[in-house]
Structure 1
Amino acid sequence: MTTGLRSVAAALGVAAEVAADDLAVVVGDRELTHAQLHERAARLAGALAGRGIGPGDVVAVGLHNGAEYLETVLAAFRLGAVPVNVNYRYREPELRYALEYTSAAALVVDESLADVARAVVADLPGVRVLLQVGTEAYASAVAGPALPADDAERGDGIILLTGGTTGRPKGVVWDRDGLLGILSSVFRLHGIPAPTSLAEVAAGVTELGRRGDRPVVVPMSPMMHGTGFFNAMRTLLGGGTVCFATSRSLDAHEVWGIVARRRATEMVIVGDAFGRPLVDALADAEQAGTPYDIGCLRRITSSGVTWSVAVKRELLARGAMTLVDNISASEGGPFGISEVSRVEDLAEGRFTLASVARVLDEEDRDVVPGSGQVGVLASAGPQPVGYLGDPVRTARTWRVIDGVRHAVPGDLATVEADGRLVLLGRGDGVVNTGGEKVFPEEVEQALLAHPAITDAVVVGVPDPRWGQIVTALVAPRAALQGLTDAELTAHLGERLARYKHPRRLVRVDEVPRTTAGKANRARAREIATGQPFTVESGHVRAFARALGDAGPGIPPTFPIAFAHVDEDWPLVMRPGRPWHGSGAGPGESRGSGGLHAEQEFTYHRPLGEGETLTAHKRAGRTWTKAGRSGVLTFTERHIDFLDAQQQPVVRSTTVTVTTAPTQTPASEEAP
């Protein structure tokens, strides 16, 4: 055994030798020891080598979580090739771009991506090998001759494709040292220094076994994302066991069954997106009188997404575990960390700077705690080489500061006087409203303090007066429909300055998130702006009117327009026939802030027996209400403003109202 780590394959191989007969991966009832997993990987490497794949080649992995993902990655390492993650949800243009961008020479997929892969690879001569898991070809590959291990010094690691602001993924290149720097956390967590030689890897795995600290991990995050990948591979480096669920989507009861049956010590989740269903499953089992035994669970980790105090509280109430909330990025880290083991220590959004992290001002100086300065997060922890094929962006993201290379991906933060780190989000996601900058994550954390709001995403929506207005998508719709916007935001008064409060709430069944659980702000913005807005001008009273002559009564179908409201500038709107209007304001108000309105429209056309009125805002989103007098009443809130010439300009929403016989008992559904 030589000194030096030589390669990622060599380090993982030594760990497997020490833990050879211990379980490496479990998927349902299927079990593979470390020796068996590495043997299959060696045979797969032999098959790939036989088809021309070798050192430096890129092997794309488009697989769901499972043993095949691990053995494909290990096979690539053994070849001296570079594995790259490919999203199994890709369509043809997306897969084509990923393969061309990374110059992939081989692609391993399962059935979910197989048809798309065949269509794309047919036109890409650079992809020399396409192998599908579950076929005879794959079975032959892992049963054929093994590729012998070698002693070559190799600095290659992985390419990690991560979401880009342009909609196209960017490749983050991790070499051997950066990758092993992350994976070695399996030792550092237990007070064992990160190994610098293969002998030290063997000693570390041996010591973890002696202490009974080899991890048994349930990685629920997809392996195609950094959090899932790094945690699974660090588990193998520590001689531990990776336990995968069999279901392709989250089955919380299956997960808890795995924890109890396999005596899992760690779990990797995606914030509330996974945490809340897990808590609900625990409660269901308890109510059924069959609670899960999760006393073995020591640690639950999440990274980069919202993990609320409410969900953490439910988890801590059920076991002696530590909850670890990390601020990290594909570009490096850690930047901040929140570790809590007791309910009484929970605090909303409380992070502390990681030991290798700083918050820097525009001059690359540390911001002063309590000063209110906003700076960028920087970390001197394990780092990649840079972005694939993009030296300009690489130079901008990884900078030498005070003689030390730091990752500075652009996350904004400030430090409170007590040392609390407040994450404010990426600079390109900041909402600029009337010249004030609002950071979405800060508002989201504050919204989640309301007991009825289980998830929230904040975006900026274009506005002619303010530039952007703060808009929040909140869930779940069913629990929020009986609460007004004022009730859902009243608690923000003691948490956030008024300009940070959402001017508009959009109630949704589910907040849009990526497969990694991160806020899908592009989709959220589409939802927030997808209502059929029109812009008109003229005297403000003219906007609350029928968009056609409806006559003295209400016809079966007709459009109506509403002005919007800002509670700071109430205005009574009295629409003309055939409605009467009333509002909560003192009358028309003018001022530098603009013209605003809050109105409640009551439709007085008597309904026929068995009829209701239904207002259709857009397909699938309706309000229905039948009153004793056959009257439909609801309040609509939007926004209006003054243009540069101080003339009222109103953005209005067109709503179609129809009459129809009552089919079911009346109900009211929020938009």
Structure 2
Amino acid sequence: MTAPEADALPASYAHGTSTTPLLGDTIGADLDRAIAAYPGREALVDVSSGRRWTYAEFGAAVDEVARGLLAKGVTTGDRVGIWAVNCPEWVLTQYATARIGAVMVNINPAYRAHELEFVLRQAGVTLLIASLAHKGSDYRALVEEVRGRCPDLRETVYIGDPSWDALTAGAVSVPQDRPAVIGAGLSCDDPINIQYTSGTTGFPKGATLSHHNILNNGFWVGRTVGYTEQDRVCLPVPFYHCFGMVMGNLGATSHGACIVIPAPSFEPAATLRAVQSERCTSLYGVPTMFIAELNLPDFASYDLSSLRTGIMAGSPCPVEVMKRVVTEMHMAEVSICYGMTETSPVSLQTRRDDDLEHRTGTVGRVLPHIEVKVVDPVTGVTQPRGTSGELCTRGYSVMLGYWEEPAKTAEVVDAGRWMHTGDLAVMREDGYVEIVGRIKDMIIRGGENVYPREIEEFLYAHPKIADVQVVGVPHERYGEEVLACVIPREAGDPPTLQEVRAFCEGRLAHYKVPTRLSVLDSFPMTVSGKVRKVELRERYAEPAGGRD
């Protein structure tokens, strides 16, 4: 071996090995195993309504909904839409469709008529299960508005309405063993779920996922945080998204743990009340959710001592927030996850005993049975460790494809079955991965590459800033300049641009120092809790001329 080869850094490639094999079951078979092992333990609790199910009761309720769907003519492979906020019926629908091999189509509760119509038509939804209303949206009226343009849609069932009661009552016309008979004939590789990605440009795409994809991902996420039948998992994150239904629901049931629904949608106080009253051991959220909980005026009055772990995902966690989550929320084993809908979702995760720096500076290391690599975005060549490039992932978790869109699938899944994430990443020598930005979010100012995450992390330490998002906006001379959008700690005392620049002076390279500042009350968000940076860029897209 020559000297240069000996000194070369290893490639940015990692493969998660394990002596524990992947699950080869369908979701229904896995649930049956949990029911047999823990029939009397709680499987599902809905705090707002007070309803509770043991595993035995949950299994019976799932089968009742499955038989009700069969009575309405739903067959294996049919698409069943679910357009609802978090509620027990959502969870029952998830497992009931899996029981009979129907493909559940998740529909964002924030969708309006044109988005709803697109999903119903594109997926060919034959039966829709929907909430009655949410945040001023009359779902029944919206369904009626689009029904005539959705030829496949035969019927809509509304949760909390006589039509839901009619669905479950219809189960009596179907033999009790029918779901089990159908389930025995299903393959774990069958498509079972379509999740529409956010789609920052044009209409969203339907990531098609199998039993094998999402059951194993939920299992491994739960195993990594040490779930057992003793755990109670508080889920304020939306079920329509992988965070709720895979990392949450399947992560819990694949280990015999209990799903706790604190409220139909995220409410900081309701979440902490649920943790306290149900003695939850695990809490999920994106960083903005944890920030909202920590900032409650009466935060210190909640007894959160039952918590030991949880999952934070969706965006990077500021160091100061993580410190408070670990100490004040008792989540010493909290885990950071990285993923995307197309990969079921998690590829990288921190471990229970990782230190603070790894939990805030990285998104963890590769999960078992998954491969990751960092490549040059142009050439596709794997980069040396410590060099930035596009993160790619491969393994059981990669989607079957975008529903009926092979050309769009080929744009992101290459011939080697690598999923190209579009995220810029650096793999450290120890295999942990840092996400340094989206390829499309990277700011190029006067030829210098600027990564918003670095500036955001720095500005979180400013005494007047509670939250911050950094985006690139047009500049006539430099191409782009750095805009910091901040939420102040005190509404009446926001930071000025001069104060922010003075805070950065001498501590950040000059080209990274924000040249524009916007003070906001809140950031535009997706329902899953991610900040819509594309909206911030569009809002401030007017070039700033000669400002430097």
What's the TM-score, normalizing by structure 2? 0.84
The SS at the match of 1:518 is coil
Deviation at 1:58, TM superposition (A): 0.7
Alignment CA distance shift 1:188-1:136 (3 Å): same
Q: Is the 8 A contact 2:219 2:250 kept in 1?
A: no
Q: Distance in 2 between matches of 1:407 and 1:436?
A: 28
Deviation at 1:524, TM superposition (A): 1.2
Deviation at 1:183, TM superposition (A): 2.2
The SS at the match of 2:474 is strand
Deviation at 1:417, TM superposition (A): 6.3
Q: Distance in 1 between matches of 2:419 and 2:354?
A: 32
Specify the code of the residue in structure 1 equivalent to 2:89. Answer: E
Aligned: 1:425 with 2:437: yes
Larger Rg: 1
Q: Distance in 2 between matches of 1:225 and 1:30?
A: 23
Specify the code of the residue in structure 2 equivalent to 1:130. Answer: T
What are the superposed Cα offsets for residues 488-541 of structure 1, whole Å, 9 maximum, x if unpaired?
2444456643222222111111122222111112321243247xx8xxxxxxxx
What are the superposed Cα offsets for residues 381-408 of structure 1, whole Å, 9 maximum, x if unpaired?
422112222223323322355xxx4322
Q: Is the 8 A contact 2:442 2:449 kept in 1?
A: yes
Q: Distance in 2 between matches of 1:51 and 1:213?
A: 35
The SS at the match of 2:201 is coil
The more displaced of 450-459 and 409-418 is 409-418
Q: Is the 8 A contact 1:104 1:126 kept in 2?
A: yes
Aligned: 1:48 with 2:69: yes
Q: Is the 8 A contact 2:27 2:95 kept in 1?
A: no
Which residue among 212, 234, 238 is the counterpart of 2:251? Answer: 234
Alignment CA distance shift 1:504-1:338 (3 Å): farther
Q: Distance in 2 between matches of 1:329 and 1:468?
A: 28
Q: Which residue of 2 aligns with 1:658?
A: none
The SS at the match of 1:184 is helix
Q: Which residue of 1 aligns with 2:99?
A: 78
Q: Is the 8 A contact 2:487 2:520 kept in 1?
A: yes
Aligned: 1:165 with 2:165: no
Alignment CA distance shift 1:391-1:301 (3 Å): same
Aligned: 1:16 with 2:67: no
Q: Distance in 2 between matches of 1:326 and 1:529?
A: 32
Aligned: 1:374 with 2:385: no
Structure number with the higher helix fraction is: 2
Q: Which residue of 2 aligns with 1:385?
A: 400
Q: Distance in 2 between matches of 1:519 and 1:320?
A: 24
Q: Distance in 2 between matches of 1:414 and 1:346?
A: 13
Q: Is the 8 A contact 1:159 1:172 kept in 2?
A: yes
Q: Is the 8 A contact 1:220 1:270 kept in 2?
A: no
Q: Distance in 2 between matches of 1:48 and 1:243?
A: 25
Which residue among 118, 128, 136 is the counterpart of 2:154? Answer: 128
Q: Distance in 2 between matches of 1:162 and 1:170?
A: 6
Question: Of the two structures, which has the highest relative contact order with CA contacts closer than 8 Å and spacing of 6 or more?
Answer: 2
Alignment CA distance shift 1:450-1:71 (3 Å): same
Task: Give the root-mean-square deviation of aligned CA atoms.
Answer: 2.8
Specify the code of the residue in structure 2 equivalent to 1:10. Answer: A
Q: Which runs of 5+ in 1 are unaligned?
A: 192-207, 534-637, 643-671
Deviation at 1:65, TM superposition (A): 0.6
Q: Which residue of 2 aligns with 1:274?
A: 289
The SS at the match of 1:424 is strand
The SS at the match of 1:158 is strand
Which residue among 35, 57, 68 is the counterpart of 2:56? Answer: 35
Q: Distance in 2 between matches of 1:20 and 1:494?
A: 62
Structure 2 counterparts to residues 260-659 of structure 1, below 5 A? 260-271=276-287, 273-281=288-296, 284-286=298-300, 291-318=301-328, 319=330, 321-332=332-343, 334-339=346-351, 348-354=360-366, 356-361=371-376, 362-370=378-386, 373-381=387-395, 382-399=397-414, 405-415=417-427, 421-476=433-488, 478-479=490-491, 481-493=493-505, 496-529=508-541, 639-640=545-546
Q: Distance in 2 between matches of 1:18 and 1:347?
A: 34
What are the superposed Cα offsets for residues 290-337 of structure 1, whole Å, 9 maximum, x if unpaired?
x33222211121112132111211122222521212121112264444
Q: Is the 8 A contact 1:108 1:133 kept in 2?
A: yes
Aligned residues: 503
Q: Is the 8 A contact 2:241 2:528 kept in 1?
A: yes
Structure 2 counterparts to residues 207-226 of structure 1, below 5 A? 213-226=229-242
Q: Distance in 2 between matches of 1:417 and 1:450?
A: 31
What are the superposed Cα offsets for residues 111-156 of structure 1, whole Å, 9 maximum, x if unpaired?
1222211221233220112100111121132233255321112322
Q: Is the 8 A contact 1:64 1:223 kept in 2?
A: yes
Q: Distance in 1 between matches of 2:318 and 2:372?
A: 23
Aligned: 1:101 with 2:115: no
Aligned: 1:118 with 2:144: yes
The SS at the match of 1:21 is coil
Alignment CA distance shift 1:489-1:379 (3 Å): farther
Q: Which residue of 2 aligns with 1:547?
A: none
Specify the code of the residue in structure 2 equivalent to 1:229. Answer: M
Specify the code of the residue in structure 1 equivalent to 2:233. Answer: V
Q: Which residue of 2 aligns with 1:153?
A: 186
Deviation at 1:43, TM superposition (A): 2.1
What are the superposed Cα offsets for residues 523-563 of structure 1, whole Å, 9 maximum, x if unpaired?
21243247xx8xxxxxxxxxxxxxxxxxxxxxxxxxxxxxx
The SS at the match of 1:377 is strand
Q: Which residue of 2 aligns with 1:87?
A: 108
Deviation at 1:259, TM superposition (A): 1.3
Q: Is the 8 A contact 1:398 1:408 kept in 2?
A: yes
Specify the code of the residue in structure 1 equivalent to 2:201. Answer: T
Once the two structures are aligned, what percentage of the paired residues are identical? 27
The SS at the match of 1:45 is helix
Deviation at 1:455, TM superposition (A): 1.6
Q: Distance in 1 between matches of 2:217 and 2:485?
A: 35
Q: Is the 8 A contact 2:35 2:59 kept in 1?
A: yes
